[in-house]
Amino acid sequence: MAGRLYLVATPIGNLGDITHRAVETLGAADFVICEDTRHSRILLDQYGISRPTVSLPAFDETARVAPIIERLVAGESAALVTDAGSPAISDPGEALVIGALERSIEVVPIPGATALIAALSASGLPTARFHFLGFLPRKGVDREAVLGEVVALRASLILYESPRRLVETLADLRSALGDRRACVARELTKAHEELRRGPLSELEAHFERGEVLGEVVVVVEGRRGEARWSEVEVRAALKEGLSRGERLKSVAAELARPSGWKSQDLYRLGLTL
């Protein structure tokens, strides 16, 4: 009989973020799969858990999945942990979960602290609907395309970012989305936790004044108001115009008035087609 794969959420900062169920699961597993065994050992030692560990780093996840799957098929149970938060959410785990399910291995989530939910709940922005972007592409056309896809969404937008790229990303968000309300959550649940709220321009000015440290979550307000055309209708009209051989800039300008969309938003959306 195949074993089980447990996806165990770990603390996002304070070691006390972990749940009783997570500690019990880690202690009962045959082995623990770690994004970084050295980092996870600190957590395991804190709670007196002495289990064998194997490494599953993001840069080599796909290549290391097969032998883990074979151990699960043979009847062992494993707990997957990443450095912080929930496995497979902007962390290693997706390939392992898919591989396990393909072999009919039961996958069991052990939920806990997640940075994106913690930041959203305290952001002061609408929480009923949200869109998680993970980490944006670093630069260029891919980055522009992703921002073009979400410019018309009325859901709050959530993304992770490196402290070194925070100021650049805030500037790109303001350029693509307008000067919307936002929240930057830094070092969540740690001693130097900071949640700073305000327009994107104000946040950009604040964080460019000094070095930014720690893990960062950015929450941005969704688009306000109602567009007269839905995004589906706008995409169809853009495709029709482009199929006639017209330039994207001309098509966007032509559609702005009847659609109720801004021409720059139409242009950004057109870049994704």
List the CATH number of the domain containing 75.
3.40.1010.10
Residues 154 and 249 in one domain: no
CA pair distance 55, 80, nearest whole angstrom: 10
Residues 63 and 108 in one domain: yes
Both 64 and 52 in a single domain? yes
Asked whether residue 259 falls in the same domain as residue 214, the answer is no
Query: What is the three-state SS of 211-243?
Result: CCCCCEEEEECCCCCCCCCCHHHHHHHHHHHHH
Tens of each residue's pLDDT in the chain, 273 residues: 789 999 999 999 999 999 999 999 999 999 999 999 999 999 999 999 999 999 999 999 999 999 999 999 999 999 999 999 999 999 999 999 999 999 999 999 999 999 999 999 999 999 999 999 999 998 888 998 899 888 888 899 999 999 999 999 999 999 888 899 999 999 999 999 999 999 999 999 999 998 999 999 999 999 887 656 778 778 888 998 899 899 999 999 988 877 888 889 899 999 988
CA neighbor of 269 nearest in space, from 236, 245, 226, 224? 236
Looking at the fold, whether 124 and 186 belong to one and the same domain comes out as yes
CATH label of the domain that carries residue 127: 3.30.950.10
Do 101 and 153 belong together in one domain? no
Select from 73, 92, 113 the last residue of a domain: 113
What is the C-alpha separation between 127 and 15, in angstroms, rounded? Answer: 26
Do 52 and 17 share a structural domain?
Answer: yes
Assess if residue 16 is contained within a domain: yes
Same domain flag for 132 and 179: yes
* 214 in a structural domain: yes
Question: Could you report how far apart the first and last alpha carbons of the chain are, in Å?
Answer: 48
What is the Cα–Cα distance from 268 to 147, expressed in whole angstroms? 8
Same domain, 19 and 93: yes
- Structural domains counted in the chain: 3
**How far apart (Å, rounded) are the C-alpha atoms in residues 215 and 255?**
41
Whether residues 163 and 186 fall in one domain: yes
**Which residues are CB-neighbours of 138 under 8 A, at least 6 positions away?**
165
In a shared domain, residues 78 and 132? no
Residue 248: domain span: 231-270
**Is 167 a member of any domain?**
yes
- The contacts of residue 219 (CB under 8 Å, 6+ apart) are 119, 120, 123, 125, 156, 157, 158, 182, 183, 185
- 35 inside domain: yes
- Alpha-carbon distance 142 to 42, whole Å? 37
Q: Are residues 8 and 109 in the same domain?
A: yes
Confirm whether 63 is domain-assigned: yes
Question: Is the residue at 102 inside a domain?
Answer: yes
**Residue 152 to residues 149, 214, 237: CA-CA distances in angstroms?**
7, 30, 15
Q: Is residue 225 part of a domain?
A: no
User: Which contacts of 239-244 are long-range, i.e. CB under 8 A and separated by 24 or more positions?
Assistant: 239/273, 242/270, 242/273
pLDDT of residue 226: 63
At 228 the pLDDT is 67
Residue 226 lies inside a defined structural domain of this protein: no
